[in-house]
Amino acid sequence: MEITVRALWTLVHGMAFGGLYLLACSGAVVELGRRYAPAAASPITARDETFLRVYFIAMTVLAWLTVLSGAYIVYPWYRALPPAAAAHLANYPQRLLLSNPATAAWHSLGMEWKEHVAWLTPISITMATVVFLRYKREIKNHPLLRNAVLCFVVVSFLAAALAGFFGAEIDDHAPVRGGAILHLMQGGHS
Amino acid sequence: MIPHPGTDSKSPTALPNGPGAAALLAAGIGAFLLAALAVAADHLPAISRLMIFYRPTGPLSGVTSSAILVWLAVWAVLDARWKRRTVALRTIAVTALALLALGLVLTFPPLGDLF
């Protein structure tokens, strides 16, 4: 069982960072919407506050790791140009997608959208985290601010989900592969 | 002190809404600028070349780095001006959300291509 370095980085970018962000974000939307609503019944304890502070910081770190690993590690492999005489485009995913009219839109629409919309996620969640760290439980007393921040968090989720969907489909049609091969496990004979 | 019209003044709090408003508006501006720069780099070869900060990543490197730098600078300036103030949060929140929505829409290639 083996995996290439490029495939591993694509997995780390999409699943470890991006996938975890999506999971965490859905929890944050529920928590902000329910516990921090002005009409919320139970009081917010210092322990709740600390938990959410760590949670939001972790989400922010994940969001930045996702876009930075995508743009500066995986994307250069994706958009690499093949040599003029290249017969096979397997190691050049962008060119491979564009070489077939049936898959070209995965680049011209999918990647073109994904590479930009994904950046709305770290912008939105960084803002939300800083507002939350600054106001803490007092944000309950600023319902308009809380609602606006919640909208940004929801958009960050949508942007990450769009990027995740296109990333998964693009990698399905033209996977980023190549580089050193890592041997994960020795297979047995049956 | 009479609260500014349009602010959420249901209960008096120690922290004014200014810092929150600054963060919201700056994020809206950042999101919109990112999309606007992406559209500009897509349509104008001169901008596209200008946005290549890191060759393997191409114009995406300059588009995102520029938008992030402007976003953080705008945030710092607005925060310095509003950190002890109560501002018209409703207007600012609507503006920030409209800019965010525009940013989201403009990144969609068929709509960005209309410009």
Q: What is the ipTM of this complex?
A: 0.90
A143 band by pLDDT with thresholds 50, 70 and 90? very high
pLDDT, residue A42, reads 78
Whether chain B has a CB inside 8 Å of the CB on A108: the answer is yes
pLDDT, residue A184, reads 85
Residue among A112, A127, A143 whose CB faces B23 most closely: A127
pLDDT, residue A61, reads 98
pLDDT at B13 over 60: no
A189 band by pLDDT with thresholds 50, 70 and 90? low
Q: Do A123 and B19 touch (CB under 8 A)?
A: no
- pLDDT tens, residue by residue, A145-163: 999 999 999 999 999 999 9
Closest CA to A181 of A2, A8, A11, A13: A2
Mean pLDDT of chain A: 92
Mean pLDDT of chain B: 90
What is the Cβ-side half-sphere exposure of residue A4, based on CA atoms within 13 angstroms?
Answer: 12
Q: How far is CA B113 from the centre of its chain?
A: 21
pLDDT, residue B97, reads 98
pLDDT, residue A79, reads 95
**Region A117-121 average pLDDT:** 98
Using the 8-state DSSP alphabet, how is residue B8 labeled?
-
pLDDT, residue A190, reads 60
Q: What percent of chain A has pLDDT over 70?
A: 98
Lowest mean pLDDT among A45-59, A106-120, B46-60: A45-59
- How many angstroms separate the CA of residue B47 from the nearest CA in chain A? 16
Tell me the C-alpha distance between B40 and B33, whole Å: 10
Residue of A nearest to B31 (CA): A120
Whether chain B has a CB inside 8 Å of the CB on A134: the answer is yes
pLDDT, residue B4, reads 52
Residue of B nearest to A116 (CA): B107
The residue of B15, B34, B69 whose CB has the most chain A CBs within 10 angstroms, and thus the best one to mutate to test that interface, is: B15
Long-range Cβ pairs for the range B9-13 (8 Å, 24+)? B9/B86, B10/A38, B10/A141, B10/A143, B11/A141, B13/A138, B13/A141, B13/A142
Q: Bigger pLDDT: B91 or A45?
A: B91
Give B115's contacts (C-beta < 8 A, 6+ positions apart).
B39, B43
Q: To which H or E segment does residue A152 belong?
A: helix A143-173
Q: Bigger pLDDT: A127 or A50?
A: A127
